Structures are given as structure tokens and as C-alpha cells.
Structure 1
Amino acid sequence: MVKVVKKFFKEATMNPVFIGGCGRSGTTLLGAILGSHSDCLTIPEFQFKLNIIQACNHKAHFHTYTNEILKDKRFKIWRISVDAENLQENLAKSAIHTVDFFVKKYAESINSSKSPKLWIDHTPTNMKYAKTLLEVFPQAKFIHIVRDGRAVASSVMPLDWGPNTITKAASWWVEHMAYGLAAESFLGKDKIIRIKYEDLISEPEETVKNLCSYLDIEYQHLMLKATGFKVPFYTSAQHNLIGKRLDVTRLNDWEKKLASEEIEIFEILTGDFLKHLNYSLKSHSIRLTIHRVDRVKFYLQEIYIQQLNKIRNRLRFYKSQIYKLN
């Protein structure tokens, strides 16, 4: 089987689809849904692709970029074998060639028997670098997935990465929403489509059919099972719902998990962003700013939890490397 896969992927030409949006907005879920299609291959988050692009733009520094890529934690999560000589050989050709090399190596590593037309990258920051990605991959298409910022905040704050307080989560969500809206404006309707996480959960068939039409692939009912991507062990805990039935009852869990004060502060700090995206406000606060004492409280809390999370994150990565050896 592996020999057949290698032969096919050596000859295959695939176009990329870049999913992006704020973290915890459903980028991985959407990747798993599209990856369930027979014409699509979903890869792990490809955060080091920008290092590849930089390396090809500054070929005098090949050795530096090669070391950075091979030492990158996100590359190690892919669990593929690439040595420095092999990597430099590909970098000497082009960024597209090198990225294609990594995609095919990943396909070989999972013994994929597909003949895909598209490879799917669900790195949330893809919207931030949409112009660069389009310049390198002119045939690419983009998907901007949007989720209620209060749900994003509720989801991300307990994790060992990202913002830890409601004030930081609010600015983080607005920042990433701005990247996405800017990408929509720059790329235009032929190159990018926006979908809502809530629509993906509450109206999955209609939403996925629209995506398939945009990507020029036929809708396949098995896509709704979202089993087209095996989550790396490193991120398995935070993606424990991937591959399970889409649950519409969880959409408003944030209303129970966030304190009323947190909801009010988030709505104050994000201004009209929620309303612009057709999300209803809950607190209806008459305040335009938050109290200085709250700013100080959340600032100190953010610093404290941030230090604890550095330890949590290192332990999680260490466990993933032990799992890799097993």
C-alpha cells in the first residue's frame, strides 16, 4: 500500500485550501469535515510553511531556516522523517515544491490511499498571511470561519495557550477577526468564502454543500461525520469532539460558563464587532469602558496564569514526544 501511495503522490498535482479564523472557531473541525471527502487531504496545522516561504526568498540563509524548520515544535507534531539535506534540496527549487514535498510526505506517513485534488490546511493564522499565501499559491482558495467571540473566549481561556482572561480574549478575538475581514476585502468573493461556526453545527448539510460548490467538488454525505483528519496527540485533548456527532446543544454553552461580568466586559471591549457579525448582545451594558480596577485585576491574572501555562504546555509537548516514541 505504501509503495502505491508514494508513486501516486510523486506524480500528483494538488491545489491548497487555506482555512483560517480566530483560534477555537472550528478550523480543525472544518478541516476534518473537508478531509472526509475523497478529493481532499487534510494535513496538520502547517504553521512552519511561512518559514519555508522565507527560506526560498532568502536563499543565502538556507542553513538557518533549515535548522529552524527541523527544530520547530509544530513540524515535530507531523511525525514525518525529513533530514536537513533532503529539506535543502527541496528549498533550492521553490516554496511550492517544498510545501508539496511536505504534504506528500504526510500522506505517505498516514498511508493515504486517496487521489486528492485539494490539500486542506486549517492553521488559524492563515487569514493573517492571506496575501503572502496567494502570491505563492495563486490557485489557492480560502475559507474564513467565524464564531461568536464569547464562545471563543469561553473555549480558549481554560487552555494552556492563548488568552487567559476575558479582557485579553476580547482583544485577541477582535485582532483575528480583523485579519479575516481584511483578507475577505483583499481576496474577493472568487477566492474566499466566509462561513459561521454556528451554521456549520446547526445546518451542517446546507453549509457543507455550499462549501463544496465553492470548492468545485461534489458533496458527499460522509463528510458530516468529520472523520477526515486524525488529530495529533499533542492537541488531542482540546480537539476531543472531532469525529463525534455535531451537537447543536453546545452552541450556547458559553452563556453558562462565562460569568455575567465577563460577558458584559467582552461586549464592552469588542464594540460593534459582535453586532456587525449578527450576534445578539446579552448584557446590553450602558458603559463604554471597563473600570480601571478591573483592567489591573485581569492584567495581573493574565500574567500569573501565563506563567503556569508555560509549564503546562511544556509538559503536554513532552508527553506527546513520549507517545511518539511508543
Structure 2
Amino acid sequence: MQSDRPIFVIGCPRSGTTMLQLMLHSHARIAVPPETRFVVPGYYRRFTFGDLRLEVNRRRLGRWIADDRDTRFRELKLDGDRFVEDVVAGPPTLGSAFGIAFRSYAARYGKPRWGDKRPSYYHQVDMLLRLFPDAQFVHLIRDGRDCVASLKEMPWYNKDVFHAVNNWAEAIDFGRRHAKRLPADSYYELRYEDLTAAPEAELSRLCAYLGEDYDPAMAEPYHLARLTIPRQRSWHGGTHGEVTTARSGAWKERLEPWEVSLCETVLAGRLVACGYELTDAPKAGKDHVAAVEAVAGRRRRARRRQEVRDRINRFREPGPVAARLTTRQLSELTRA
């Protein structure tokens, strides 16, 4: 039996996750929409919807997903009223409601399997596993110096280079934790540089992990990008052309010398562990290193506060949150 497990693409922003999303969406059996914004905020707002065993509460949840401006449900181009009725008729869990949205999107394309892509999901793997216990994660890793160089040039990125360095460090650190504790069939890593240099070989290995046959259309995602990604999103402009290695190592021209030193001083161990070579750049200044450490401390404390709140909140959940839609989800429910 072919898999119907959900697929989540994660990684540091500017790692090539949009390209990988398009590659997966090009597969004949897999649909991965543009980024949505209802899974994480919906999880943290779950108490406002109440006990989902009650129809009125499932309807409230469905209406929030379909109508709230921040959820980006419109990106799925689904009939909102029909979706709400599907949620009302579906299993009474939060994960099921989210899964119905993605499953409906996949059905638009006649595909049996769905995925979701949002780089920051690397922070929320535990949450996603609560919602989708059979999820498979694909972590795309790119040279941290290229990620930092690209992030600081993005019109939507309003942080400084110290935050950008932390973004990549966190993505790698979280990835290491996931690799250690998740089953081999639930977590997979690949490098942007390898994917762009040998897309057919890397995508074939990825498909084997996902339990799918390789589809040659995956290696030509630009056909799909030209139809789905607006030209005005200049930061995704590279997806409109053929897969290329031209952007690998672009940091050499895009980072200032002090920024190269900062990246290689703070990220050295992680870069080497991921297979990237260091230069002979001098050590970064103590003030720059201290700025990175200060940002890291603030972000770490904020995550810990959120984790504590969530652990406490789990004791007062009105019902289960795990989806009850896929073959494995239903079989685990039966065994329980």
C-alpha cells in the first residue's frame, strides 16, 4: 500500500525550501501548497475553539481557518463553506481539521498525499507530531553563510545579521536533536548544494525515504514555479529557472569580511559537521560574538517560556489533538 503520511519541509529560511516544495508538488502523487499560517497559531489558540466533540465548536474552528486573514487559507483556493462542512463532518480533533484543509488541497490536483512547507517548522516538530503522529520531516540544509547573506537582503527580513546567524545555528541544532530521537522513517536531511548539483539522484533518494517512486517532473520545478509564484516575489525569482548550482557560495561576494569572520567564528563546528569548508578568515571581534550570544540567549529564554506554557496547557486540553485521517493514524487509534 502506498503511503498517505503527511510531509513537512523544514529548514533555515533561504535554504531553498520553496524550491523543494515545488519539487515535491511536481510529483504525481504529492501536493504541497504555498505557505499557510494556520497550523501553529491554531494550535496555540486551541482552547478558544473548545471541545471539538461538539459540532458548534468544529464549525467555529473551520470558520476561523477559512476566514481569518492571517491563516492564508485563500492560498489553497478552496471553497471555504465546503471546507467548513467537511471539518464539521470530520473527526473531532484539531489535527484532523488542519489535515482536511491540506487533503482538500491535494484533492484539487487529484493527488492522494499532501505536504506543508514552512521553514520555521524546525522549531515546532514536537507540536507537529502531536497533531500528525505519522508525519515525515524533510530538513533542507544550506551553507549557513549563504543563508545569512540571503536573509539580510530580503525585503521582509527586519532583523540584523546577528539574528540571521542564530537562525541557521538553531536550524542545525534542532535538526541534530530530531535526527537523534526520531525514527529513521520520520526524519531526513539533505543539502541544498547536493540537491542542485545532482537533482535526479538526490530526489530519487528522497522519494525512497518517502516511500514513493521517483517522478522525473520533480527535477524541473520551474514549470510549476512560473504558474504559481508571482514575479513580484523577487526573492523567489530563482525558482523560475532551471535548477542550478550558481547560487552556491554566493556569500563570498555578498558578505562583508567581518560578517564572514562572524559566521565562521560562531558557526565553525556546525559548518564543518555539515560538510562545508572554512576559509582563513580572522576571528570575529568579541563585541560581534557577544551580540550573537545575546540574541541567542533571548531567543532561548522565549522558547523555554513557550514550552513551559504549552506543557501546562496540555493538562487542560478538552480532547485529543492528533489527526485521525491517514492509514497509520487510524491504525494507531484502533490499537489504542
Name the TM-score, length of structure 1 as normaliser.
0.74
SS in structure 2 at match of 1:46: coil
Contact 1:20–1:125 (8 Å) recurs in 2: yes
Partner of 2:167: 172
Cα gap change, 1:21 to 1:291, in 2 (>3 Å): closer
- In the aligned structure 2, how far is the partner of 1:235 from the partner of 1:91? 38
Contact 2:30–2:106 (8 Å) recurs in 1: no
Contact 1:34–1:223 (8 Å) recurs in 2: yes
- Pairwise CA distance, 1:197: 0.5
Cα gap change, 1:91 to 1:60, in 2 (>3 Å): farther
Contact 2:62–2:84 (8 Å) recurs in 1: no
* Correspondence for 2:155 among 160, 168, 183: 160
Deviating more after overlay: 119-128 vs 81-90: 81-90
Cα gap change, 1:283 to 1:232, in 2 (>3 Å): same
- Pairwise CA distance, 1:240: 1.6
Residue identity matched to 2:213: E
Partner of 1:74: 72
Residue identity matched to 1:74: R
Partner of 1:97: 96
Is the aligned partner of 1:37 residue 2:36?
no
- In the aligned structure 2, how far is the partner of 1:138 from the partner of 1:50? 15
- In the aligned structure 1, how far is the partner of 2:34 from the partner of 2:46? 22
User: After superposition, what is the alpha-carbon deviation per residue over 1:44-96, rounded to whole angstroms, capped at 9, x for unaligned?
Assistant: 22331123444556642855895487131533444444259658736872223
Deviating more after overlay: 191-200 vs 161-170: 161-170
Percentage of identical aligned residues: 24
- In the aligned structure 1, how far is the partner of 2:236 from the partner of 2:284? 36
Is the aligned partner of 1:206 residue 2:196?
no
Residue identity matched to 2:95: I
Gaps of 5+ in 2: 52-56, 296-336
Cα gap change, 1:20 to 1:291, in 2 (>3 Å): closer
Aligned residues: 281
Residue identity matched to 1:126: Y
- Pairwise CA distance, 1:247: 1.3
- Pairwise CA distance, 1:147: 0.6
- In the aligned structure 2, how far is the partner of 1:266 from the partner of 1:286? 10
SS in structure 1 at match of 2:188: strand
- In the aligned structure 2, how far is the partner of 1:165 from the partner of 1:145? 23
Cα gap change, 1:220 to 1:209, in 2 (>3 Å): same
Contact 1:96–1:136 (8 Å) recurs in 2: yes
- In the aligned structure 1, how far is the partner of 2:277 from the partner of 2:102? 41
- In the aligned structure 2, how far is the partner of 1:99 from the partner of 1:119? 11
Name the TM-score, length of structure 2 as normaliser.
0.72
- In the aligned structure 2, how far is the partner of 1:16 from the partner of 1:80? 19
The two structures, once aligned, show a CA RMSD in angstroms of 3.3
Partner of 2:238: 241
Residue identity matched to 1:166: V
Is the aligned partner of 1:274 residue 2:271?
yes
* Correspondence for 1:190 among 181, 185, 189: 185
- In the aligned structure 2, how far is the partner of 1:105 from the partner of 1:46? 14
Cα gap change, 1:282 to 1:74, in 2 (>3 Å): farther
